[in-house]
Amino acid sequence: MAPSPFVVAIDGPAGSGKSTIARLLARKIGASYLDTGALYRAIAFYLDGRSVPPEEGEPLRCALAELTVSLRGERVFLGDEDVTDRIRTPRVDSIVSRYAALGPVRESLLDLQRSQSRLGPLVADGRDMGTVVFPEADVKIFLSASPEERARRRWRELVDRGETLTCEEVLFQVIRRDRIDSDRTLAPLREAEGAFLVDTTDLSVEEVLSHLCGLMKLDLSGRLGDV
């Protein structure tokens, strides 16, 4: 029997740096990158655009039955439409957690997420990678940072895209999303058993990446070779 593909599962709250780190780590070790947050954003964008409320029921089931979401490299598509750039807005920021808390939404993406690991080594980031989607991942990492630092990071991203929210408004959104993600009944945000916990508040991207590579070498006893 062929060995199972190598998987690194990275979880953490919004603004902890997980997407940036996961993407860079994937490149460094020659793995594919799975941005699960983009998938949930695409679904939220799709449902919100069709005025489907974030609640279980027939409207949600019908809308999901008509939905085709896919990944092409690091681009996200709804049908044949590339929505990668359109899902990174304050509007989607404010609604994605409520849609992501719904069972039918999470179930609709589970097979798609897991199927990515069959294509080869994978680095996946999200909020339930190590607890639900890839509980047998070779390496589990939980990134954190203070709410204030995470808000500053998200605010800078929004300013760079031309948005006009204040840092205080973004901090309110970050705290609100943390509460929704952590308190939901289905797949709440939490540290997976056996995960490395890394606080990125005072670390640069390069420092976080170097630290994770060191942790992985210790954990895997050289399985990855020189990372």
Asked whether the beta carbons of 53 and 95 are under 8 A apart, the reply is no
- Helix (H), strand (E) at residue 168: helix 167-183
Q: Is 14 annotated as a binding residue?
A: yes
Q: Is 18 annotated as a binding residue?
A: yes
Q: Is 195 annotated as a binding residue?
A: no
Q: How far apart are CA 76 and CA 72, in angstroms?
A: 6
Bridge partner residues of 143 (DSSP) = 198
Nearest to 215 by CA among 197, 191, 201: 197
Q: Is 13 annotated as a binding residue?
A: yes
Q: Is 15 annotated as a binding residue?
A: yes
Q: How far apart are CA 157 and CA 153, in angstroms?
A: 6
- Please state the φ and ψ torsions of residue 197, each to the nearest 5 degrees: -100, 125
Q: How far apart are CA 98 and CA 198, in angstroms?
A: 26
Numbered residues of the known binding site: 12-20
Numbered residues of the known binding site for ATP: 12-20
